[in-house]
Amino acid sequence: MDDLMLPLPGLSSVLGKAIAARFDGGQLSSDAGVLVLREFEQRLGIAERLAACIDDPRSQAQVVHDLAGMIRFRMLMIVSGYEDGNDASTLRSDPAFKLAQGTLPSGPDLASQPTISRLENLPDVRSLLRMGRAFVDLYCASCARVPKRIVLDLDDTFDAVHGGQQLRLFNGHYDEYGFQPIVVFDGDGRFVTAMLRPAKRPKGMEIVKFLRRLLRTIRSNWPGTQILIRADSHYCCPEVIDFCRAKGLDFIFGVAPTTTLRRHVEALETITKARFEAGTKKAKLRRFKEFYDGAASWSRVERVIARVEAGEQGTDTRFIVTNLAGGRAKTLYQHVYCRRGCAENHIKSWKRHLAAGRTSCTKATANQFPLFLHAGAYWLLWALRAAMPKRSVWRVAQFDTLRLRLVKIAARVVEMKTQIRLHLPSACPYQAILRTVLGRLPRPMT
């Protein structure tokens, strides 16, 4: 048991004066910034969207913690750096988290760890499919107007597991068991959806089924928007190419080098290497070439672009395939395809800064749901960053920076008869940006 009156030992004196520290400060919180995130969550409506996808088997007359409230609490915990559901046992009485849930500091505590665990095990497959559609709807609603064109980046990421989880599979490349979920972001970094799957390279028909569900939901919101699918060579399958053409989708995929493709660039590789060796050898030399060819499994030849690069370590050649008409080969490769690398940074933010790899439950459904909870946390920080002034350094800040500087703020909470006062640190260096961002809150989404 914690004794609030026991002093914190081991603190050195300062200028001859002893330091006496006790945990008796009263209604204090180290996460006052969750109140700012609460405003963004209310406008995005993430918790309500996800809660509407779950069939609640509880007797509603006896419900203390509703589904939306528990989901909101869990997302705010993740944003604040408490990725483990066990942390709910101590945070449930935190005054800032209570206020973010619309509960007074003197009111009943929030959901406990066992309640949060039951929540994460509650959704079934149908509920999770509805959540996937809800996230796509959220993505569409986040745009102020219907876009003429969007870019969807498909990628997968390895998630190591340590236990007997369903769908786990040994991956020889990573030399351990894990999952390899497919994650989709748009070109501006908005989270679109994610699907938990075994740790192996996705096959063509699996990707097509995933794209078909994704496309159906997007088209229900934006029937006329042109869509560009962008991905690495994992997704360059004949089934995927044929699906994109049949559905009127643009695509640009990486292609694994083959003997047939290399035959087209043998002369260019030789010339590029010779020019590099004849030059100053300070910077790498790049050349581009485009041609029409296709694998034997493809239904037709496609436009292929080769990038040949010569440097001190030798020659490196990469290939991409696209159905985009027009455009220089160099432009399509460097300014269209290579921007796919931003999706890897978004995945890093989702996994490293928001701990989306916490898939430690036994059931696959119980591991898919946390992916969506961490996606909701991603949306909160993305919306916070998007509300920053365009020329501000905050507009490109990483999520852990936003958390440390704008969420982890100490506050003393005083509940009075007619108001609740938050006493924030006078020396807080980020007062101005907090005032600015609260004045630039996004419009509520429908």
- Per-residue b/e over 134-150, b at no fewer than 16 CB within 10 Å? bbbbbbbebbeeebeeb
Beta pairing partners, 254: 320
Domains and CATH numbers, the chain: 28-122+364-438 (no CATH), 125-353 (3.90.350)
Structure tokens at 391: 């020329």
Convert the pLDDT of each residue in 426-445 to its tens digit: 999 999 999 999 998 888 87
Q: Is the dihedral of CA 100, 122, 350, 228 positive or negative?
A: negative
Per DSSP, the three-state class of 295 is coil
| Interatomic CA distance for residues 36 and 406, integer angstroms | 9
Count other Cβ atoms within 10 Å, centred on residue 21. Answer: 12
For residue 71, give the amino acid letter: I
| Interatomic CA distance for residues 411 and 26, integer angstroms | 11
Q: Is the dihedral of CA 59, 61, 65, 66 positive or negative?
A: positive
Which pLDDT score, from 0 to 100, does residue 446 have? 65
- Whether 54 and 125 have beta carbons less than 8 Å apart is answered as no
CA 367 vs CA 133, 284, 364, 436: distances in Å:
18, 44, 5, 37
Q: For tokens 């432009």, name the residue.
A: 331
Structure tokens at 55: 């069939």
340 contact partners, CB below 8 Å, separation of at least 6:
153, 155, 230, 231, 232
- Whether 110 and 103 have beta carbons less than 8 Å apart is answered as yes
| Interatomic CA distance for residues 72 and 29, integer angstroms | 18
CA 228 vs CA 130, 151, 324: distances in Å:
24, 5, 9
Convert the pLDDT of each residue in 273-330 to its tens digit: 999 888 877 788 999 999 999 888 899 999 999 999 998 888 999 999 999 988 899 9
Strands 169-171 and 176-179: antiparallel
Q: pLDDT 10s per residue in the chain (446 long)?
A: 466 567 788 888 899 888 888 887 888 999 999 999 999 999 999 999 999 999 999 888 889 999 999 999 999 999 999 999 899 999 999 999 999 999 999 999 999 999 999 999 999 999 999 999 999 999 999 998 999 999 999 999 999 998 899 999 999 999 999 999 999 999 999 999 999 999 999 999 999 999 999 999 999 999 999 999 999 999 999 999 999 999 999 999 999 998 899 999 999 999 999 998 888 777 889 999 999 998 888 999 999 999 999 988 889 999 999 999 888 999 999 999 999 989 999 999 999 999 998 888 899 999 999 999 999 999 999 999 999 999 899 999 999 999 999 999 999 999 999 999 999 999 999 999 999 999 988 888 76
The DSSP H or E segment spanning 184 is strand 182-186
Structure tokens at 277: 């060796």
Question: Which among 382, 60, 368 has a CA at the least distance from the CA of 68?
Answer: 60
CA 212 vs CA 149, 215, 313, 417: distances in Å:
18, 5, 42, 55
For residue 130, give the amino acid letter: R
| Interatomic CA distance for residues 445 and 442, integer angstroms | 9
Question: What value, to the nearest 5°, has the Cα angle with vertex 214 and ends 208 and 220?
Answer: 130
247 contact partners, CB below 8 Å, separation of at least 6:
215
